[in-house]
Amino acid sequence: MPQASVDLRSDTVTRPTPAMRKAMADAEVGDDVYGEDPTVNALEAAFAERVGKEAALYVPSGTMGNQLALRLLAQPATTVVAPERAHVVIYENGAGGRNAGVQFTSVDDSRGVIDADAVAWAIEAAHHHYPAVSLVCIENTHMPANGACWPLDELRRLRSVTEAARLPIHLDGARLFHAEVATGVPAATMAAEATTVMCCLSKGLAAPVGSMLAGPADVMAAARAERQRLGGGMRQAGIIAAAGLVALESMIDRLADDHVKARLLADAIAERWPDAGLDPAEVLTNVVTWRHPDPGAVLAHLAGEGVAAGTIAPGVLRVVTHVDVDDDGIERARKALATAP
């Protein structure tokens, strides 16, 4: 892609900030498999505190964080209830079946949340020849639903259902801080409703690598061993963890800018395609999706204007805002969208 392009394919395409580069160069390191990397240890402690959990683990990717949660909280030959378009269901290449031996009961997520009654139904169904449920996974923000945020009361309603059934919740909070900024509800308040929470440092927060998994101390001790089994034990990982600390300390508040920019893109998209199933008022974070009969033609047109977008399903396009897209880039994208086929 040419240098001048506006890259809206994902918020993973960001480059580390100058402050991150400096922190990485200066990072104190040790062997993290021995638990001796002071920067990784500092990142894990800072994240655990930020999300109000006893302990945290630095992992190479969000996918690994989710997979660890499946391996630790779910049982093989059971089902995991999750939103039908959740990352853990759709976008991890079948990993749940391979790594944790689970199947998914996917429930309607058109509002961006899953209904507590639907989860209660799936749990009750085990008494009627359906598989037993061992875990509920949720996603906040919920990426395919235009980065929708879970209202706290819905989260609490879900929790009361899972608690009654003594089931854990894993919160895929790849973009949990986006939800915090958009709703004003602290990440820790949302995470309190889940057993484990995963957040990505490399999605919108601009760190080059890494995600965090947090939860009770005993679960996280087991997660450390599972991470090693999956080949995710890293040695002088403080080099990259240093950027993660900068991400946590200085890249969260600015997410509000990305949300404003996404709304501007949503306005342009809804104006160009009024029937594309997009209500801009529902775009509260940094992801915008819309339907189109010929996504390839739209992508080609945008690319010709120096704008990169993507697809997330047949007939569904996506743009995502992030720190490396400035006002000029958004204006360029809006103009390109206005003339798209």
List interacting residues with ligand PLP (CB under 6 A).
61-63, 66, 87, 139, 143, 172, 174, 200, 211
Q: 311: cis peptide before it, omega within 30°?
A: no
Min separation Cβ 180 and ligand PLP, Å: 15
Nearer to ligand PLP, 143 or 269 (CB): 143
Min separation Cβ 105 and ligand PLP, Å: 19
Residue nearest to ligand PLP (CB): 62
The answer for 121, left when phi > 0, alpha when psi is -120 to 50, beta otherwise, is alpha
Nearer to ligand PLP, 148 or 219 (CB): 148
Closest residue by Cα to residue 207 from 179, 252, 240, 234:
240
Nearer to ligand PLP, 99 or 123 (CB): 99
Structure tokens at 257: 């800018």
Nearer to ligand PLP, 191 or 200 (CB): 200
CA–CA separation, 209 vs 143, rounded Å?
Answer: 20
Min separation Cβ 283 and ligand PLP, Å: 16
Q: b or e along 14-53 (b: 16 or more beta carbons within 10 Å of the residue's beta carbon)?
A: bebbebbeebbeebebbebeeeebebbbbbbebbbebbeb
Cβ neighbours for 56, distance < 8 A, ≥ 6 positions apart: 43, 44, 45, 47, 48, 212, 213, 214, 220
Min separation Cβ 174 and ligand PLP, Å: 3
Nearer to ligand PLP, 61 or 75 (CB): 61
Nearer to ligand PLP, 37 or 139 (CB): 139
Min separation Cβ 142 and ligand PLP, Å: 8
Query: Which residue's structure tokens are 């909070």?
Result: 173
Query: Which residue's structure tokens are 């800072």?
Result: 46
Min separation Cβ 59 and ligand PLP, Å: 9
